[in-house]
Amino acid sequence: MYAFLKFLVRLYFRILYNLHFEGKENIPKDTTVIYAPNHRSYTDPPLVACGARGKISFMAKEELFKNKLFAWLISSLGAFPVARGKGDTGAIDKSIEALNNNRNFMIFPEGTCSKDGKVGRGHTGAALIAARSGKPVIPVGVCYGEKLKFRTKLIVKYGEPIYPQDYVDSQEDPNPRQLVKLKKRYMDDIKALVEGTPEPSQDTVTQQDENKEAADE
């Protein structure tokens, strides 16, 4: 069922948009992963899933499950309900359980859709799930112009995996400061995928040259 629905959704998006995927080779084949995309619209989850490897679970606000037909559809695609703004710690446990049961997981670190298309600061939810599960984070950039229209050029970019072991010492009781460092890393990578790597300022270039000269001496 999942594979069939994924095929239909991918076909629909390829007809509707000028859709391309980049960086799929960055997705590890030997483990489940946490996909962490920027958030532009409600089409992001199926768009990211279309180019991703394997089955994906993701959180969806509980209001979306009120319609039984729609609830069946998104549940078939791997969604489970979460109570937003109520400290639903059970959602974290469900996320880790999915990762340990051979399903990938998708979470939007920004928490809400961007109003101007720029990448926001993000939250540590993905970092916590990565730290406690030991699974790598794949930063994802959903890239297009101001609005999605018919045949809009749309690129979904998958970045290189970020391994939580490189940032967090304890899997059982992650240090909050280390989680923030991990969050900063994947948010920086998402921003680079979406907005490109910024050119260094002249002051930065000058300082780098001075450091190089000092090292040579």
Q: Which of 76-90, 92-106, 119-133, 135-149 comes out lowest in average pLDDT?
A: 76-90
pLDDT > 90 fraction of the chain, expressed in percent and rounded:
61
Distance of alpha carbon 190 from the chain centroid: 8
Angle, to 10 degrees, between the axis of helix 176-195 and the axis of helix 125-133? 120
Distance CA 145, CA 142 (A): 10
Given a cut of 50, is residue 102 above it in pLDDT?
yes
Whole-number Cα distances in Å, 58 to 62, 94, 116: 12, 10, 24
- What pLDDT shows up at residue 19? 96
- What pLDDT shows up at residue 112? 86
Per-residue burial over 126-162, b if 16 or more Cβ lie within 10 Å, else e, is bbbbbbbbebbbbbbbbbbeeeeeeeeebbbbbbebb
- Which of 89, 72, 84 shows the shortest CA–CA distance to 108? 84
Alpha helices in 67-124 (DSSP H): 68-76, 89-100
Q: Which of 10-14, 67-71, 95-99, 155-159 comes out lowest in average pLDDT?
A: 67-71
pLDDT tens-place string over residues 35-48: 999 999 888 988 99
pLDDT tens-place string over residues 164-215: 999 999 999 999 999 999 999 999 999 999 998 655 444 444 445 555 554 5
Mean pLDDT of the chain: 88
Given a cut of 60, is residue 92 above it in pLDDT?
yes
Average pLDDT over residues 70-94: 79
Q: Cβ contacts of residue 54 below 8 Å, gap of 6+?
A: 32, 102, 103, 104
- Which token pair is 175? 């240090």
pLDDT tens-place string over residues 57-67: 988 878 888 88
Average pLDDT over residues 14-43: 95
**Identity of the highest mean pLDDT range in 134-138, 142-146, 201-205:** 134-138
Model's pTM, two decimal places? Answer: 0.85
Domain 2-216 has CATH 3.40.1130: yes
Q: Give the angle subtended at the CA of 173 by the CAs of 168 and 177, to the nearest 5°.
A: 50
- Which of 162, 114, 172, 167 shows the shortest CA–CA distance to 140? 162
Average pLDDT over residues 138-162: 95
Residue 82 or residue 138, greater confidence? 138
